[in-house]
Every structure is written in structure tokens, then in C-alpha cells.
Chain A
Amino acid sequence: MPEKIIESCNVKRLEILDEGGNADESLMPPLSDEQIKKMYELLVLSRAFDQRALNLQREGRLGTYASILGQEASQIGSAFALEKSDWIFPSFREMGVYITMGYPLHMLFQYWSGDERGVKCPEGLNIFPVCVPVGTQLPHAAGAAMGVKYRGDKKAVACYFGDGGTSEGDFHEGMNFAGVFKLPVVFICQNNHWAISVPREKQTASKTLAQKAFAYGFEGIQVDGNDVFAVYKAVKEALEKAKKDSGPTFIECFTYRMSDHTTADDAARYRLKEEIDNWKPKDPILRLKLFMEKKGLWNKQYQTDVENKAKEAVDEAVKMEEAIEHPEPKDMFTFTYAKLTQRQMRQMKEL
């Protein structure tokens, strides 16, 4: 009997907006000028937040912080496609997602300053607390999506993680559940090419991360993760698919971590400056600016206004955060269980 090809898969890459700010009109998602400007403002705000967080950390006013520099399009583009009623399972490098969803900025500073009250997600948003272990949030996203499906809700679940996360066992288990149960979940993998010091090619021998999805029985696509339109379009379509009960999607956002892993890291120990320099022209904000300029949506005055607005918002958030009273020591006991145990009550008296 001759051997037959019984399965094959083709991995697509989506790019819409190039480094020169030229968009492929045939692929452009339907976005109004106002929406494009809103996206730009969120990109600028997220970067302003990020830079301020780095500065505050250096000044000893914030704890260890994981910068999103370079990944703003992956985060703003994806979150822009989400509804407030959707459920989000982030990793620890998703400040652009939080900001796009309208999470209060001062609470983000509060969290990174070591105050847990900062990750108490406000009512009206469904963002799970920052997930510090890598990849463990994929099964949660699958489980929440099982809940969505069970109740027949018109919602989707978005799960964020990075290239390093794809090496974890829970990546497999979460992806597998999503495929087997055909769940309304969108896996958004920001391939920023570095997991602390380990480069992408040492995480997996797969040519792309997107192709992994095919092994779980659903579609994977790679998008230019520095192209806010490509990310938005891919995520928007995946969310619509999820809400039509047509199953999960895996989206590899091909981007780059321009910063150190966190403020506790020094990337100069393990990667070349030339590599970072090569990514600079691919900057997500720069290319959207060039696009908007050509469309007559951007001028210097607009830029000044957007930057000032972002600075004001960040200034205000820092002021608010620094005015928050130190948490009560007893607060650490309050949320261990629904009710304090007898033993906890006695321990509280030792404080």
C-alpha cells in the first residue's frame, strides 16, 4: 500500500501595516478614524505608564516591574477587540491589556508597589489576577470557557502568555482541553523572543509557535505583533468565532521584548545590542504614527496633546497611589478563607 498524506497544515502570517506606515487596504479591519486615534492614544498611554513604572522602580518607589516596551501593539491591539464582559487571563507582562480594558492606572502602580489591593479587579471587568507561575493560566482559561459554554453565554475568554509559556506542561493541558471541548477561548501568545535569558529557538524546535495549535485540532496564526491592525483583526475574528461556538484559536504575536525581563534583570548579559537595534525600526507606535500622518490623523499638535494627556493620567495615578494608606497588617488574614479560622483569630492577636 502506498503511503498517503493524511494530514497537513499551513501556517499563515498576517501583516497589514508595514514599518513605513503603509497599510494593505484589502486587509484593513473596519476601524473608524476615532477608533484608530483611540488605539494610538492607548499605545502612547501604555508606554508612558511603562516608562514611569521603570523610573519609579529605579527611585525605589515601586517594586520589581516587568516592562511591556515593544509589545504595546500586541497588547492594545488584542485588548481593543475584547468586550468588557469577556474574561481575561493574563500573565505578568500585560499592563497594556489592563490599560486598554480601562483598569484604573493607580491600581496597577499599587500592585507593582507590593499592595495586593491593586489586583482586586473592579466590578464590571473580568481580569484574573496577574499570573506569576508561567503557563498555569491556560487551564483556567479553558475551565472558564467551559463555564461560558455550559451557560450558553455570548462571551469569550482571552488567555495571554509568552513564548516561554509554550514549553510548560499546562500549555499542553490547557490547549488540549480547549481543542477537545471546542471551547470559546482565544490564546494570545506574545512571542517576544526571550524568556529571561533563553531565546525563542531554545524553547522549541517548532518553526513557529502558531503551528502548535494544529496538533490540538484548531487554527493557529502568526501575526506581526508590532502591527496593531494585524493583531486587532486576528483577535477580533477569533473572538467572533469563539462567540459563534466555533472553537478556539491560537494567535502568535511575533514581537520583541525591548526591555530587560524585569527591573531585576540585565539583558546585556545574554543578548546583543545589535539585535535590539534591529527591532527599533519595527516600533509599533512609530508605524501607526506614520500611517496616521498619511491619513491626516496625526500632526505635531495632536502628538503634544496625546503625550500631555498621557502624562497627566500617569501623574494623577502616581499621586493617587502614593496617597493610599499602607495596608493594615490584619489585611493579610482577611481573604485566606471566606471566614477566619479559630487559629487565624489567635494568630492575628500576635501581630
Chain B
Amino acid sequence: MPKLNMVQAINLALKEEMQKDKNVVLLGEDVGKDGGVFRVSEGLLDAFGHERVIDTPLAESGIVGAAIGLALYGLKPVAEIQFMGFIYPAIDQIFSHASRIRARSRGRFTCPLVVRAPYGAGIKAPELHSESSEALFCHMSGIKVVVPSSPYNAKGLLISSIRDPDPVIFLESTRLYRSIKEDVPEGEYIIPLGKARVVREGKAVTLLAWGSMLHRTLQAIEDIDAEVIDLMTLNPFDEETILKSAKKTGRVVIVHEAPKTCGFGAELSATIAEDAMLHLKSPIMRVTGYDVVLPLPKLEDYYIPTTARIKKAIEEVMKY
């Protein structure tokens, strides 16, 4: 079985889905000849031609808006936004249209598109190349938000996202793109959306994370019987798995890269408080990015949650 990094795994998922279904088309800035700035679509132009791998004008709203039109027409567009920080011009299209086409047309029209965007800090990139704004999209009903944490689950989740009948925001951690290699089988396998993954079982504390923070969370575990859950899909998220674990351990630490205030950790924390409060032994803790404008590279390491901060939070909840 080939060992692939996340870029290669996503490339393989795109290639296989395009081979299987002629309705799958890619569009975005530099996705064709250049293979995407992270080379995620490398080789796909040669394999599928300009009609299916479309270099667009530099226009994020236009890319997502055109993807909506393609999806309405019955195609399965996969749009790439070059960095998550550049998705903001397309938010109008995502919020005002993609999320509500099924509802507004009472199911006559649907919008099965995927918007892929690299996210997150840690690769010393310029301003707005390191955003982690997943919570914005989780707030909007009608769209799904998926964040893979490894090459294996990136492929399986992307296949599910492309086949999903609803619009999916698919966020790929830039820091994970090339830092992990693992066995990624060729051919079809699916990781269902809306299901979390118990990465390791434990009884003492539940650690919740997704994307790049999963790895930092795992690194922070020392001599503690921690249960670690990789959410994978943030919207709709797997309440059942999370609540089951929270009730079992009675202690929860949530780790995310985005700022604390109104970050997705707030939703998880509130959900656990609503449904599992009487099982808790300690307050729910969040380890997050700070409530600041994301700093440029010289300070970004101070912004991203460190293993030390995660360890400290685990120690805190274990005091109870």
C-alpha cells in the first residue's frame, strides 16, 4: 500500500472521483497548469483536460458563484480557494446562496459542491494565509464543514464530500499537507460525514480536536489515560460520540487553533454542558488561539496552542 502525504491523498481522491464521474469538475485559481499552489491538483489537467480542470480568473466570489451554477446544472464542482483567508469575498455566495438553495427551491434545486481551502497557521506565510475560520461556516445551516487530520481520512472524507448532496466546506491544514505520510489505499473507501473518530480510548479525560490540532493534542498526552476524539466533521458534528465520551470520563478539554470567542469549542462546550453536566467532574477547558488578529510569522508560534498549554489544561481538569 503506498505511503502518501495529505497532498497526494487528496490528489488521489480527486483523480479517482473524476475517473468515476464525468460530472466532477475542478475550478479555481492556478488549479490547472500550475496544479494548485500546494500542487493538490497536479497532473489532473493532463489527465482530464481544460474542460474539467478549469483555471479561473482571480475572483473568489466568481469561483464559488460559478460552482453554484454548475451544481445547479447537475455537475459536481470542486472549487479551490487558494487560502482560507481569501474565502471571505465568497462568503456572500456561500451564505446567501449555496447554503439555502435546497430550502428556497423546496428541493427542486440542490447545490452539491465542495469548496476546498487550505487553512491554519504554522507555515510562515504572509497575512491572511493562516486563517482558521471554520466556526463562521458552522454557524450557517445548510452547509457542512469537514476538516481531515491525516492523509487516510482526507481521502475518504473528500470522496464523501464530493458525493454528498449538500454543499461542503473542506478545510485542509497547510501544516499537515506534507508533514505526515501514511498508508492510503488506492480505490474507493469512504469515511462518512458527521461521524467522529475515537483516536485512542481512555477513561480519565476526553480531548476533542480536529485537523492539525489533533496531532498537537496527541503529543501533549503523557501519563494519563486520555480518550482522544478527532471530530473530522464539524457541521453536523457527532454529538453522540462526544457526549458518550464526556459522560464516561467526566472531564473535557477542547483544542482548536481558531480564536476562543465564538470558536467551535464554544458550541462543543455548551452542548456538553447542556447534555452531560451532571456527569462532569471538572469544568470544561478550552485551549485555543487567542482573541487577536492572527500575527505574522514571527509571532505565529506564540499564537498556536502549544503542547505545553494543552498539558496544562489537562493537569487543570485532573485536579478535580
Cβ of B107 under 8 Å from chain A:
yes
Contact (Cβ within 8 A) A136 B102: no
Chain A residues positioned under 8 Å from B104 (CB to CB): 116, 119, 129
Cβ of B169 under 8 Å from chain A:
no
166-211 of chain B: CB within 8 A of chain A: 166, 194
Partner of B69, one of A123, A132, A143, A151: A143
Chain A residues positioned under 8 Å from B74 (CB to CB): 147
- Chain B binder among A55-63, A171-179, A191-199, A229-237: A171-179
* B104: min CB distance to chain A, Å: 4
Cβ of A148 under 8 Å from chain B:
yes
Chain B residues positioned under 8 Å from A119 (CB to CB): 104-106
Chain A residues positioned under 8 Å from B64 (CB to CB): 139
Chain B residues positioned under 8 Å from A177 (CB to CB): 56-57, 59, 62, 66
Chain B 51-63 per-residue mask, 1 if CB under 8 angstroms from chain A, else 0: 1101011010110
Partner of A139, one of B52, B66, B75, B236: B66
Chain A residues positioned under 8 Å from B223 (CB to CB): none
A133 and B69 in contact (CB under 8 A), knowing A176-B62, A336-B102, A343-B239?
A: no
Chain B 235-270 per-residue mask, 1 if CB under 8 angstroms from chain A, else 0: 010011000000000000000000000000000000
128-155 of chain A: CB within 8 A of chain B: 128-129, 132-133, 136, 138-148, 150-151
Chain A residues positioned under 8 Å from B159 (CB to CB): none
285-320 of chain B: CB within 8 A of chain A: none
Chain A 318-351 per-residue mask, 1 if CB under 8 angstroms from chain B, else 0: 0000000000000000111110011100000000
Cβ of A169 under 8 Å from chain B:
yes
Chain A 174-189 per-residue mask, 1 if CB under 8 angstroms from chain B, else 0: 1011001000000000
Chain A 155-175 per-residue mask, 1 if CB under 8 angstroms from chain B, else 0: 000000000000001101110
Partner of B62, one of A142, A150, A334: A142
Contact (Cβ within 8 A) B62 A87: no
Chain B residues positioned under 8 Å from A141 (CB to CB): 69
A146 and B109 in contact (CB under 8 A), knowing A170-B61, A342-B240?
A: no
Contact (Cβ within 8 A) B57 A173: yes
- In the bound complex, CA of A147 to CA of B93 (Å): 18
Cβ of A117 under 8 Å from chain B:
yes
Cβ of A38 under 8 Å from chain B:
no
25-79 of chain B: CB within 8 A of chain A: 25, 51-52, 54, 56-57, 59, 61-62, 64-75, 77
* B11: min CB distance to chain A, Å: 22
Chain A residues positioned under 8 Å from B65 (CB to CB): 136, 138-140, 142-143, 170, 173-174
Contact (Cβ within 8 A) A148 B73: yes
* B128: min CB distance to chain A, Å: 18
* B56: min CB distance to chain A, Å: 7
Cβ of B110 under 8 Å from chain A:
yes
Partner of A338, one of B56, B69, B102, B106: B102
A169 and B106 in contact (CB under 8 A), knowing A143-B70, A147-B75, A343-B239?
A: no
Partner of B166, one of A144, A145, A176, A337: A337
Contact (Cβ within 8 A) A147 B73: yes
- In the bound complex, CA of A147 to CA of B52 (Å): 10
Indicate the member of B66, B70, B240 with the most A CB atoms within 10 Å: B66
Cβ of A12 under 8 Å from chain B:
no
Chain A residues positioned under 8 Å from B51 (CB to CB): 150
A136 and B59 in contact (CB under 8 A), knowing A143-B69, A143-B73, A145-B69?
A: no
- In the bound complex, CA of A164 to CA of B60 (Å): 22
Cβ of B156 under 8 Å from chain A:
no
- In the bound complex, CA of A120 to CA of B101 (Å): 10
* B316: min CB distance to chain A, Å: 29
Chain A residues positioned under 8 Å from B25 (CB to CB): 150
* B221: min CB distance to chain A, Å: 29
Contact (Cβ within 8 A) B62 A170: yes
Contact (Cβ within 8 A) A146 B93: no
Cβ of A121 under 8 Å from chain B:
yes
Chain A residues positioned under 8 Å from B109 (CB to CB): 121, 128-129
Contact (Cβ within 8 A) B68 A139: yes
- In the bound complex, CA of A37 to CA of B94 (Å): 43
Partner of A136, one of B52, B54, B92, B142: B92
- In the bound complex, CA of A117 to CA of B106 (Å): 6
Chain B residues positioned under 8 Å from A145 (CB to CB): 69
Chain A residues positioned under 8 Å from B57 (CB to CB): 173, 176-177, 180
- In the bound complex, CA of A318 to CA of B41 (Å): 54
Chain B residues positioned under 8 Å from A343 (CB to CB): 236, 239
Cβ of B141 under 8 Å from chain A:
yes
Cβ of B96 under 8 Å from chain A:
yes
Given known contacts A176-B57, A334-B106, A335-B103, what 11 new A-B pairs fall within 8 Å (CB)? Answer: A116-B104, A120-B107, A128-B105, A139-B65, A143-B66, A146-B70, A150-B70, A173-B62, A338-B110, A338-B164, A343-B239
23 contacts between A and B (CB under 8 A): A87-B73, A120-B108, A128-B109, A129-B105, A133-B92, A133-B96, A133-B97, A136-B96, A141-B69, A142-B66, A143-B67, A143-B71, A146-B54, A147-B73, A170-B93, A173-B62, A173-B65, A335-B103, A335-B106, A337-B142, A341-B194, A342-B239, A342-B240
B residues sitting closer than 8 Å to A (CB atoms) are 25, 51-52, 54, 56-57, 59, 61-62, 64-75, 77, 89, 92-93, 96-97, 101-110, 141-142, 144, 164-166, 194, 236, 239-240
